[in-house]
Amino acid sequence: MNRFSLSKLTAGLLLAALAAGAQAADVSTVTDTVKGRAPEASNVVINNQSRPGIVPVVGDTVQADYSYADADGDALDVATFQWRRAGAAISGATSNTYTTTAQDVNRGLTVQVVPSTDPARTDPAMGTPAISLAMDVVGVPYYPKPSTTLYTWAQAKSHCVSRGATLLTVAQLKQLYLYSTSATQEGGAGANDEMVTVHGWPFRQGDPYNTYWALEEDSSSLGKVVYMQHGSQANSSKANLLPAACTK
C-alpha cells in the first residue's frame, strides 16, 4: 500500500469521525421547556349540606362545588379553598366545607378555589383563583320571631297552642342561644346581645325582656326560664310577665 493510498484512507476515517461527532452533538442539544396551560376552576357554587336546597342558617355546613378543566388534559392534583365574609378572608376557613356562624349573617359569604396540577410534571401547575357568587346566611328561621307581648307562664303556653305550636323547651332555648350567637358556652363568660342585635329578638338588658319562658315547670307555682343573653336557666313565678317563643 503506497503512502498516497494510506493518506486517502486516513482522511476518510477522519471525515467519518467528524461527521459522527457532529451528529452526536445535534442529538444531545437541550431544548427549551415547553409551557403548557394553567388548570381552571369554574362554576364555583356554595351548596348547603345540612339542608340541601335551603338557604343556610347559622350552624349549617356548606360546601364549595366547582367544575375543573385543563386544556392540556392534566389531572387535578390538589385544590385550595379560602372562605370569605364580606370579601375578607375568614381565618382558618380553608377546607372545601365550612360551618356558618352568627358573624356570617347577611355578610355575603363567598369561597375562592385555586386548582393545581402536579408541579413535578406540569408547567404552569397553579391555576388562577375562581370565586363564587355571594350567599347570605340567615339568622334564626326555625322559630317565629317573638312579639313584644309579655305573658304569664299559662298564657304563654296557650298563646303557642293557639298557633298550633308549643313553647320552646329549656334545651331548645339553650341550643338556640349557642347555635345563633358567638357564645361557645352558656353563662356569663360568653354573654352577648346578638339575639337582638343580629336576629332581632325583642329583649333588653334586665328582667323581664331578656328572660324567656320554657315549656317545663318546676312546681305548681314556678316555671322554667332561660336568659337569652347568656343561655343560663332559672325558675320564675308563673305569675310573672315574660316573653315567649313558640315552635311547631
Q: What are the residue ranges of helices labelled H in the chain? A: 3-27, 153-162, 170-180, 194-197
- Name the band, by pLDDT with cuts 50, 70 and 90, for residue 21: low
Question: Is the same domain home to 119 and 169?
Answer: no
Q: Whose CA is closest to 186, among 170, 202, 164, 208?
A: 170
Query: What domain range includes position 122?
Result: 39-131
**Mean per-residue pLDDT, 146-164:** 92
Average pLDDT, the chain: 84
Are residues 114 and 158 both part of a single domain?
A: no
Q: Is the pLDDT of residue 14 over 50?
A: no
Q: What are phi and psi of 91, to 5 degrees?
A: -60, 130
| Whole-number pLDDT of residue 25 | 47
Residues 100 and 159 in one domain: no
Identify the pLDDT of residue 38.
Answer: 95
Q: Could you give the CA distance from residue 158 to residue 53 in angstroms, rounded to a whole number?
A: 34
Whether 108 is covered by a domain: the verdict is yes
Q: What is the total count of domains within the chain?
A: 2
DSSP sequence for 135-167: BPBBS--SSPPP-S--B-HHHHHHHHHHTT-EE
- Whole-model pTM: value is 0.54
The dihedrals phi and psi of 243, each to the nearest 5 degrees, come to: -75, 165
Close Cβ partners of 9 (under 8 Å, ≥ 6 residues apart): none
Residue 157 falls within a domain, yes or no? yes
Where is the domain boundary, 101, 131, 161? Answer: 131
